[in-house]
Structure 1
Amino acid sequence: MKQLSSAQVRQMYLDFFKEKGHKIEPSASLVPVNDPTLLWINSGVATMKKYFDGSIAPENPRMTNSQKSIRTNDIENVGKTARHHTMFEMLGNFSIGDYFKKEAVNWAWEFLTSPQWLAFDPEKLFVTVYPEDKEAKRLWLEEVGLAENHVIELDENFWDIGAGPSGPCTEIFYDRGEEFNDVAEDDPENFPGGENERYLEIWNLVFSEFNHKADDTYEPLPNKNIDTGMGLERVVSIVQNAPTNFETDLFLPIIQEVEKISGKVAYGKDSTTDTSFKVIADHIRALSFAIGDGALPSNEGRGYVLRRLLRRAVMHGQKLGITDGFLYKLVPVVGKIMESYYPEVLEQREFIEKVIRTEENRFHETINEGLDILNQVVVELKEANEKTLNGQTIFKLYDTYGFPVELTEEIAEEAGFTVDHAGFEAEMNAQRERARAARSTEKSMDVQSGLLTDIKVESTYVGYDNLNVSSEVLVLIQEEALVDSLSSGQAQVMFAQTPFYAEMGGQVADKGVILDENNQLIAEVTDVKRAPNGQHLHQVTVHGTLTVGATYKLEVDFSNHNGILKNHTATHLLHKALKEVLGEHANQAGSLVTANYLRFDFTHFGQVTSEELKQMEQIVETKIWEAIPVVTVETDIDTAKGMGAMALFGEKYGKEVRVVNIGDWSIELCGGNHVKNTEAIGIFKITSESGIGAGVRRIEAVTGQEAYEFLQEKEQQVLEIAQIVKSTQLKDVVNKVEQLQQQLRELQKENEQLSSKLASQQAGDVFKDVKESNGISYIATQVAVKDMSQLRQLADQWKQKSVSEVLVLATANEDKVSLLVAASPEAIAKGVKAGDLIKAIAPKVGGGGGGRPDMAQAGGKNAAGIPEALTEVSNWLATK
C-alpha cells in the first residue's frame, strides 16, 4: 500500500475518474442553494439532484467530485467512535444515463487495487450486494474475480428515499485485521457489513435504476444512473494506517495545536480527554467551513447547529483546562490542512475568526447564565426537599444553553442530588423523533421525467439585442405530451430563437405576446424557464392556433422589461456598495429582480444601521449621477476572473461567460439584462432592511418610476403631518413635532406628580385599616390607582410607615387586574413569604405571579375575583 497524504488521495481519486472521461465538479457550498429540503449539503449526490431527477441535463453525463458535507444526526457520538464526524468529504463518481454497473464495479476495483493507484491488498477487500441484484454479484465474481466468501448478500443493500430514483447498491469493505476485532468471533455482527470495527465500509455504489412511485410501486427509470460515494477520512485512515480517522493528517495537526493551547493535557494518554480533543478537532473543521460558506451561529436552523457545535467544543476545551477563547486560534490550522483543495478557509480567515471569537465570548457569558439557572434550581429543590434533578431541566440546560449533561450531573451530585437519566433520554428521543418526522415530510428528489430531457433541439436567446423577432415553433407540449398543433389552453413552447429571458440568477422572466403575420394575438407568454438541455421553455396561454414549424412574431413587453433592466443594474451597484460599507464578508445570499422592485439578501452577522443604509444609497445614487456606461463582454471564465469579475452566489458558470463591467468599479459575472448607462436607472431608494434568518439580512429597493412614487408617498405623509401639527412650512415640521413631544413629556411628568399625590392621599385611608390573623398584622384592600407602578409607590410608603407586617393591594383597570404583596422582615421571620402568598391569591383573579420573599406581584383578568382574593389573605395567614 502506498504512503499518501490526504490531499494526494483526494487528487488521485479525481485524476482517476478524469482519465475515465469524467468532468471534475467543484465542491459546492455547505449551504444548499435553491433546495429547501436540506439544512446542509449532506452527501456528494446532494448537489447532483438536479441531474438525477432530470430537471437539468449535464454538459457531461460523467461527473466526479470531492464534496464537503455536514451531518449532525449523531453529534453525541462524535469523538466517542473512530469514524463519526459532523463535516466530512465524500468522493464520488456519477453517471447520468451513461455507463452503469459494469464500469462502476470494475473502475472501483481498479482504483482500489491497481499499483498505479491506491494499491490495496485484494485479499483485504469484501463486498456486499442486494440478493436480487444478480448482475452485480456476477460482476464481482466473474469479472473482478473475487472469491465467493468475499461477496455477501444483504437485504438492506437497496437505496431508497421514498418517491424518486432508487435502486440496489453494492458496498466495499476493508478488513483491518484481527487486532481491530471488537466483537467475539461467533458474534452475528462479526462480518463485512455488520456492526464492528474490523470491517470498515469505504465505498458505496448505488445503481439508480427505478422510479419509486407514490403508490409504492417501482418502474424502470428512463435513464439509469450511477451514484457512488467513498469517505475520504476513512480511506485516508487505511492509507496512513491510523487507528481512527483522528490520527490522520486531516485531524492530527488540529489536535496537536489544542495540546499546545492547553499546556496541561496530552493526546493519547486518557480516553476521556482524548474524546475532548477529537470533538474540538471535528467541530472546528465544521465551523470553519460552514461560516466560510455563509452560515452564522444563531438560535434557529443551521445557525443553531453551529452554535451547538461551538458550545460543545468550548465545554470540551474547559475539560482540557482551557478557560479562555481558543477555537478561533484553530482556524488557520484547519485552513492549512485543507489549503490544496479548499483555499477559501485561509482566504476568509479573518472573517471566520471574528465570528468564532465573538460567539465564544458570548457563550462564556451564557455559561454563567446557565450556572445561575442551575444553582437556582438546586436551591428550589432543596427547599422542596426533593432529591432528584429531573430530566426536563437537564435537557433544557443541554439544549438551550449548550450545557453538557455530564457538567450538570457533576454540579447536581456535588449538591447531593441524583440525576434523572431516563427522563433526559426521553426528552432527547422526543427531539430526535421531531427531527425525523420533519425530515420524512420533505421531498428530497423529484421523480425523473424523460420528456424534456430527451428534447435536444437548439434554441437561441437573442434578447440582449432584440426584443421583437420572428421565429419558428420547434416544440409544443401540452399536458406532458408533444403535440403538433393546439388552439386553446396552457402550453409550453420552444422557438428556434427567442427574445424572452428565462428566469435565472434572480432575474424574473420576460412577459409578452406571440402574434401571427397579421399581428393578431395568438398567445400570451406568462413565464419562461430553462429546460434541462438549456432551451428557453415558454409557458403560454393560447388564444389562436400554434403549430409546429410555423413562424410567429415574438414581442417582449418593453415597459416590464425596462423596469427589470434598471433594477438588475441597481442590484450590481448595491452589491458593491454593501461591500464598501459593511466589508467584504457581505456576500450575496440570493436576489430577486422584478420590474417593480429588487430584493437583495446578504450575509452579515450584525445589525445594519440607518447611517450605513444612507451611505449605501448615496454610493449607488452617485454612480447613477456619474452616467457610467455599462459594458458587457463575452469571454472565457479564466479571462473573466483575471478581470476581477465577482461571481454571484449560487450561480453555475460554463466556459464562456458574460462580464458586466460598470466603470471598472463593479465587475460581475452575470447572464442577465442591464441598462446601457447607469443614468437610465434614474432614482434609487432603499425601502426596507431586515433580518430574515441566521446571519442573513435583506434589502428591498426601488428605482425609476417606482422610486419616484415612493418618494411622492413619503412627501404626502409629511404634508399630512404638517397639517396635523399646524406647520405652514415643511422645513418647520421637525421643530413642531419636537415641541409637541416636549409638551407631552411635561404633561406626563405633571400627571405622574398628581398620581403620586393621589396615591399618598389614598395611603392615609388605606393604612388605617389594619387587621390581624394568627398574630400577624396585615392590610388587604382594593385601591383606585391606574397601574402596578402606583401600587409599588403605595408599598414604598407602607414600608416607611411600618403600619403592618403584611400589605396586600389590588387594583382593576378595565379587564386587567394587578395584585401586590409586601412582607416586612418580621413577617418573613414568622414564615410569611410574599411570593408564596401571591401564588395563593392570584388564581382568584384568574392569574398568576411570583417574586421575592419581601415583594411579589401578579396579574389577572377577573376583576370580580378581587374580594375573594383579599378574603383569602386572612385564611392563608392563619395557616402560618
Structure 2
Amino acid sequence: MEQLTSVEIRQKWLDFWKTKNHQVEPSASLVPVDDPTLLWINSGVATLKKYFDGSVVPDNPRITNAQKSIRTNDIENVGVTARHHTLFEMLGNFSIGDYFKSEVIPWAWELLTGEEWFAIEPERLYVTYFPEDKETLKLWQEVTQLSDDHFVPIEDNFWDIGAGPCGPDTEIFFDRGKKYQDLADDDPEMYPGGENERYLEIWNIVFSQFNHMPDGEYVPLKHKNIDTGMGLERMVSVMQDAPTNFETDLFMPIIHAIEKMATTSKYGEDAKVNISYKVIADHIRAVTFAIGDQALPSNEGRGYILRRLIRRAMMHGRRLGITKAFLYQLVPVVGEIMSDFYPEVVSEADFIMEVIEKEEERFLETINEGEDILTGEIERLKAANETVLAGEIAFKLYDTYGFPLELTNEYLESANMTTDEEAFEAAMQAQRERARAARKDTKGMGIQSDILGDIVADSQFVGYENVKSEGTVNSLIVNDQIVEVAEAGQTAYFTASETPFYAEMGGQVADTGVIYSLDGKKLGDVIDVQTAPNGQHLHEVTLVETLKLNDDIQLVVDEKRRHAITKNHTATHLLHQALKDILGEHANQAGSLVAPKQLRFDFTHFGQVTDEELERMEHIVNEKIWDAIPVETIETTIEDAKARGAMALFGEKYGDIVRMVSVDDWSIELCGGVHVANTAEIGVFKIVSESGIGAGVRRIEALTGEAAVDFYNQQEHQLQAIANQVKVKKAADILPRLESQQAEIKQLEQELESLKAKANQEAAGQIFQNVHTVNGTSFIAEHLPKREIKDLRHISDDWKQADYSDILVLATDHDDKANLLVAVKPEAIEKGFKAGDLIKQLAPLVNGGGGGRPDLAQAGGKNPAGIKDALSKVSDLL
C-alpha cells in the first residue's frame, strides 16, 4: 500500500467520483447559510440537506465533496484520544434518488483496492452491516470474494435520527495489524466495530431508503438516496501508517512550528506534553478556518466557541513555556498545508492573524486576572483552614478566564488543596444543557415532499428587462395538491411559461403585483414569489376569479415597488464597496435585506465603527449616485468574473455562467438581483443606524430615494419641535440656546453643591458631638436623612482629619433606598475591628449587601425602615 499525502488522498477521492459522473460540490463555509438548526457545518451532508429534503433539485443527482466541518461537543477529548478533532474534513459521495446499493458497493471496493486509487490490500478490509439487510451482505460477498469472517453484522448499523430519511448503513474497517492490539489478548471488543485500536473504521455508507414519519412509521422513500462519509484525517493516518491522526502531514508541520517556540520537551518525549502540542495543532486549524469564513471571537454562539478554542490553546501553550501571543504565527503554517484545496486560507491569512493576535493579547490580560482570583481564593481557604475550592469558582475560572480544571488543580496542589470536581461538573453540565436548549435539532433532514419536486414545466424569468409579460399557467397547486382549476377566494400557487416576477433570493424580497386575463380582467394578487425545487418562480396568488391550468395570463409587477427595491439593491452594492474602502477588505457581507422601504446590510468587522467612518461611507455612496454612473450588467463565466475582481457574496452558490453587476469597475459583484440602469436613479442615500448584532457581525440600515427624503423631513420636523421647546425661531439657534442653558445649569449645580457642603459641615458638627464608648472603643452612629452616599463620604473625610472617635457609622435614606457607611481608624483596626466585617453584619438589616476595605466600607439596601435597627446594633457588635 503506497503512502499517499493528504493532498493526494483528497484529490483521488474527488477524481474517482468524477469518473462515475459525480458533480464536485465545493467545500461550503463553516458558517451555515439559511439553516438556524446548525451552529457550525458539522458533516459532509449538512450543506446538502436542501437536496435530500426535496426543497431544491440538484443539477446532477450524483454529488461528491470534501467538506470542512467543526464539532465541539466533546472538546475535552481533543489531544487526549487518537482521533478527536474540532475541525475535520469529511469526504463524501451522494446519490439523490439516483444510484443505490448495487452501484455504490462495487464502486466503493474499486476505490479502496484499485491500483490507480487507494490500492489497499483486500485482506486488510472488513465490513459491518445491519443484520436484516441481507442484500448488502450478498453484494459485499459477491464483489469482494472475501472469507465470511470479513463480514460482521451489527445491530447499530441503522442510521436514524428521528423524523426524516433513514435506513441501514454499512461500515468499512481497516486492519492496522497486531502491533496495535494482539488477538492473543482475548479482548471481547477485538472485532471490527468493537472498541479497539486495531480495526479502524474508515468509511460509512448510509442507504437512505425509508422516511421516518412523526408517528413512528417507516415508509419507503419514493426516491432512495446514498449518503457516505470518510474522515480525511483518519484515512490519512491509515495511508501513512501513523499511530494517531496527529503524526500525519496534516498536523506535524504545525507541531514542528510549535516546538520552535516551546521551552519544554519536544513532541514525542513526554505523553503529557504531547497533549498540549495536539490541542494547539487541532485548535489553530479550527480557528483559522472559522475566522476565514467570517466567524469572529465573541461572548456568544460561534464567537464564544472560537474564544474558548483560542484560550484553551493558549493555556496549553503556557504548559509548553510559551507566555506570549503565539497562535497567530501558526496561521501561515496551516495555510501552507491546506493551500491546494483551500487557497482562501492563504489569501485571508493577514486578516486571520490580526484577529487571533488581538484575541490573544486580550486573553493575556484576562489570564492575569484569573491568576489573581485563584491566588486570592487560596489565601482565603488557608485563612479559613479549608482545603477544597468550590466547584462554582473553578467553573468561573474555566468559563470566564479560560482556566482548564487541570490547571486550577495544579495551582491548588502546590498549596495541598483540591477542587470540588462534582460541583464543577454539575456547573459544566448546566452549561451544556443551556447550549443544547439554545438551538434546535442539528441533524434532521425533514420529511420529504414530492409535490414541488415533481413540477418540471419550463418557466422563463424576463424580469430583468420587463415588469409586464404574458405567459401560460403550466402548473397549479392548491392545498399542497396539483390541480387543474383554482377557484375565486382560494390561495393558489402557480408557475408560468414566462414571468417578470422576481423570486425572493440573495436578500432581495420578492416582487408583488397582479395577474390579469388577456382581456384585462383581474384574476388575483401575487403576494409572494419563491423558487421551486427545479428552479421555476413559484407565485403565491390570492384569487378573485377562477384560474385554470393552461390559461394564458398577463403578469404585471408593482412597478413603483420594484423600482424602490432596485434602488436599495444597487445602493447595497455601493455600500459594500464603501465599507471595504473605509474599514478594510475583511468587511464582507454576512447577510442582507433589500426591501422597498429600506435596506439592511450585515458585515463582518471585529471593532467599532465610528461616526466619522459612517459619514465617509455615506458620502462615498452619494458621490457615486451624483456622478450618474451607468450600472453595467453582463452574463459571463465564473472564471472571467473572478479575473475581473468580482466579489462573490457570502453563502451564494454560482453556476458556470454568472450575472456580474459593475459600477464604474469600482463595485463589481456576482448578483442575480434586479438593479437600476444608472446610479442617479437612487436619488439619495442615508444611513440611519449602525449596530453590533453579535459574533463579530455588525449591521447598517439605510434608506434611499423617497424613503430617505421622508426621513430628512421627519428630522426637520423634530428639529423645529425642539426649537419651539427651547424658545428659538430657527433650528440653527438650537445649539447656542442649549449651550447657554447648560452653562446656567452648571452654575446652579455648583451653587447647590456649595449649599450641600455647608449643610454637611453643619450636620457633621452636630453628629461629631454624639460620641459613644463600648469597652474602650469610641464610636459615632448617626442617621442623616435625604442624603446621597457621596455626602456620607465627604463627612467621613472630615471625620478622618480629627480625633472624634475610633469608628464612624453613618446612614441615609434617599429615593426609597438606604445607604450605610462605616469608617475605622488605624488604631481600631489594630484592635481587630474592620469596616468590611461590620458593614456585612449591618447591611442585612436594610435588606441589602456591601463590603469594602478594613478602613472604609459601604452598603446599599431597599429597606430604609431598617436604618434604626442597624444603628442600634453597632453598640452590640462592638
Q: How would you bin the TM-score normalised by the shorter chain? A: over 0.9
Check if 1:408 corresponds to 2:438.
no
> Structure 2: how far apart are the matches of 1:437 and 1:635?
46
- Consecutive unaligned residues in structure 1, runs of 5 or more: none
> Structure 2: how far apart are the matches of 1:433 and 1:670?
41
Query: Which residue number in structure 2 is paired with residue 170 of structure 1?
Result: 170
Check if 1:92 corresponds to 2:92.
yes
Query: Which residue number in structure 1 is paired with residue 572 of structure 2?
Result: 571
Check if 1:396 corresponds to 2:396.
yes
The AA in structure 2 aligned to 1:801 is: A
Check if 1:545 corresponds to 2:557.
no
After superposition, residues 49-198 of structure 1 pair within 5 angstroms as: 49-181=49-181, 185-198=185-198
CA contact (8 A) 1:182 1:196 kept: no
Query: Which residue number in structure 2 is paired with residue 32 of structure 1?
Result: 32
> Structure 2: how far apart are the matches of 1:62 and 1:159?
20
The alpha carbon displacement at 1:519 in A equals 2.5
Residues 665-719 of structure 1: per-residue CA shift (max 9 Å, x gap) = 1111111000110000001000000000111000000000110011111112222
Change (3 A) 1:776 1:216: farther
Query: Which residue number in structure 2 is paired with residue 804 of structure 1?
Result: 805
The AA in structure 2 aligned to 1:836 is: D
Judge which range, 3-12 or 857-866, deviates more: 857-866
1:80 aligns to what SS in structure 2? coil
CA contact (8 A) 1:183 1:196 kept: no
CA contact (8 A) 1:817 1:859 kept: yes
- Consecutive unaligned residues in structure 2, runs of 5 or more: none
The alpha carbon displacement at 1:312 in A equals 1.0
2:749 aligns to what SS in structure 1? helix
Query: Which residue number in structure 2 is paired with residue 23 of structure 1?
Result: 23
> Structure 2: how far apart are the matches of 1:755 and 1:183?
90
- So what's the TM-score if we normalise by structure 2? 0.98
> Structure 1: how far apart are the matches of 2:157 and 2:494?
42
CA contact (8 A) 1:126 1:174 kept: yes
The alpha carbon displacement at 1:5 in A equals 1.0
CA contact (8 A) 1:759 1:785 kept: no
> Structure 2: how far apart are the matches of 1:229 and 1:242?
21
Query: Which residue number in structure 1 is paired with residue 485 of structure 2?
Result: 485
1:450 aligns to what SS in structure 2? coil
2:526 aligns to what SS in structure 1? strand
> Structure 1: how far apart are the matches of 2:325 and 2:97?
51
Query: Which residue number in structure 1 is paired with residue 794 of structure 2?
Result: 793
Check if 1:364 corresponds to 2:364.
yes
After superposition, residues 425-440 of structure 1 pair within 5 angstroms as: 425-438=425-438
The alpha carbon displacement at 1:184 in A equals 7.5
Query: Which residue number in structure 2 is paired with residue 258 of structure 1?
Result: 258
Query: Which residue number in structure 2 is paired with residue 308 of structure 1?
Result: 308
Query: Which residue number in structure 2 is paired with residue 690 of structure 1?
Result: 691
CA contact (8 A) 1:204 1:229 kept: yes
Residues 281-332 of structure 1: per-residue CA shift (max 9 Å, x gap) = 1111111111111011111111111111111111111111111111111111
2:355 aligns to what SS in structure 1? helix
The alpha carbon displacement at 1:509 in A equals 0.1
Query: Which residue number in structure 2 is paired with residue 777 of structure 1?
Result: 778
> Structure 2: how far apart are the matches of 1:436 and 1:146?
44
CA contact (8 A) 2:37 2:440 kept: no
The AA in structure 2 aligned to 1:472 is: T
The alpha carbon displacement at 1:726 in A equals 2.7
Query: Which residue number in structure 1 is paired with residue 710 of structure 2?
Result: 709
The AA in structure 1 aligned to 2:379 is: V
> Structure 1: how far apart are the matches of 2:188 and 2:480?
51
CA contact (8 A) 1:129 1:153 kept: yes
> Structure 2: how far apart are the matches of 1:806 and 1:695?
51
Query: Which residue number in structure 1 is paired with residue 505 of structure 2?
Result: 504
Query: Which residue number in structure 2 is paired with residue 533 of structure 1?
Result: 534
The AA in structure 2 aligned to 1:65 is: N
The alpha carbon displacement at 1:656 in A equals 1.5
CA contact (8 A) 1:222 1:449 kept: no
The alpha carbon displacement at 1:512 in A equals 0.6
CA contact (8 A) 2:161 2:443 kept: no
The AA in structure 1 aligned to 2:114 is: S
CA contact (8 A) 2:618 2:685 kept: yes
> Structure 2: how far apart are the matches of 1:859 and 1:220?
68
Judge which range, 618-627 or 514-523, deviates more: 514-523
The alpha carbon displacement at 1:384 in A equals 2.6
The AA in structure 2 aligned to 1:153 is: P
Check if 1:495 corresponds to 2:508.
no
Query: Which residue number in structure 1 is paired with residue 596 of structure 2?
Result: 595
> Structure 2: how far apart are the matches of 1:739 and 1:377?
54
1:32 aligns to what SS in structure 2? coil
2:446 aligns to what SS in structure 1? coil
CA contact (8 A) 2:208 2:226 kept: yes
The AA in structure 1 aligned to 2:162 is: G
CA contact (8 A) 1:165 1:212 kept: yes
> Structure 2: how far apart are the matches of 1:468 and 1:182?
76
Residues 321-352 of structure 1: per-residue CA shift (max 9 Å, x gap) = 11111111111110000010001111011101
> Structure 2: how far apart are the matches of 1:184 and 1:293?
49
Query: Which residue number in structure 1 is paired with residue 379 of structure 2?
Result: 379
Residues 499-527 of structure 1: per-residue CA shift (max 9 Å, x gap) = 11000000000001112234332111111
Structure 1 runs of 4+ aligned residues shifted over 4 Å read 436-443
Judge which range, 601-610 or 821-830, deviates more: 821-830
The AA in structure 1 aligned to 2:400 is: T
The alpha carbon displacement at 1:848 in A equals 1.4
> Structure 2: how far apart are the matches of 1:812 and 1:638?
74
Check if 1:718 corresponds to 2:715.
no
Query: Which residue number in structure 2 is paired with residue 857 of structure 1?
Result: 858
The AA in structure 1 aligned to 2:198 is: R
> Structure 2: how far apart are the matches of 1:441 and 1:575?
34
Residues 188-234 of structure 1: per-residue CA shift (max 9 Å, x gap) = 22211111111111101111111111122211122111110101111
The alpha carbon displacement at 1:538 in A equals 0.7
How many residues are paired up? 877
The alpha carbon displacement at 1:542 in A equals 1.4
The AA in structure 2 aligned to 1:802 is: D
Judge which range, 674-683 or 709-718, deviates more: 709-718
The AA in structure 1 aligned to 2:8 is: Q
Query: Which residue number in structure 1 is paired with residue 274 of structure 2?
Result: 274
1:584 aligns to what SS in structure 2? coil
Query: Which residue number in structure 2 is paired with residue 350 of structure 1?
Result: 350
2:647 aligns to what SS in structure 1? coil
Check if 1:753 corresponds to 2:773.
no
Check if 1:843 corresponds to 2:844.
yes
> Structure 2: how far apart are the matches of 1:130 and 1:739?
85
> Structure 1: how far apart are the matches of 2:440 and 2:639?
42
Residues 541-599 of structure 1: per-residue CA shift (max 9 Å, x gap) = 11110100111121111111111010000000000000000000000001000000000
The AA in structure 1 aligned to 2:835 is: A
> Structure 2: how far apart are the matches of 1:286 and 1:355?
14
CA contact (8 A) 1:222 1:448 kept: no
CA contact (8 A) 1:785 1:791 kept: no
The alpha carbon displacement at 1:808 in A equals 1.4
Judge which range, 371-380 or 90-99, deviates more: 371-380
Query: Which residue number in structure 1 is paired with residue 816 of structure 2?
Result: 815
Query: Which residue number in structure 2 is paired with residue 472 of structure 1?
Result: 472
Residues 729-759 of structure 1: per-residue CA shift (max 9 Å, x gap) = 3323222222222332232222222212211
The AA in structure 1 aligned to 2:309 is: L
Check if 1:524 corresponds to 2:488.
no
The alpha carbon displacement at 1:465 in A equals 1.0
The AA in structure 2 aligned to 1:771 is: H
> Structure 1: how far apart are the matches of 2:131 and 2:290?
40
Change (3 A) 1:442 1:286: closer
The alpha carbon displacement at 1:440 in A equals 6.1
What percentage of residue pairs aligned between the two structures are identical?
61
The alpha carbon displacement at 1:69 in A equals 0.5
Query: Which residue number in structure 2 is paired with residue 244 of structure 1?
Result: 244
Change (3 A) 1:14 1:451: same
CA contact (8 A) 1:300 1:694 kept: yes
Question: RMSD of aligned C-alpha atoms?
Answer: 1.5
CA contact (8 A) 2:720 2:730 kept: no
Query: Which residue number in structure 1 is paired with residue 680 of structure 2?
Result: 679
Query: Which residue number in structure 1 is paired with residue 563 of structure 2?
Result: 562
The AA in structure 1 aligned to 2:602 is: D
After superposition, residues 312-323 of structure 1 pair within 5 angstroms as: 312-323=312-323
Check if 1:656 corresponds to 2:657.
yes
The alpha carbon displacement at 1:416 in A equals 3.0
> Structure 1: how far apart are the matches of 2:561 and 2:164?
38
> Structure 1: how far apart are the matches of 2:243 and 2:442?
38
The alpha carbon displacement at 1:89 in A equals 0.5
Residues 249-284 of structure 1: per-residue CA shift (max 9 Å, x gap) = 100011111111225431111111111111111111
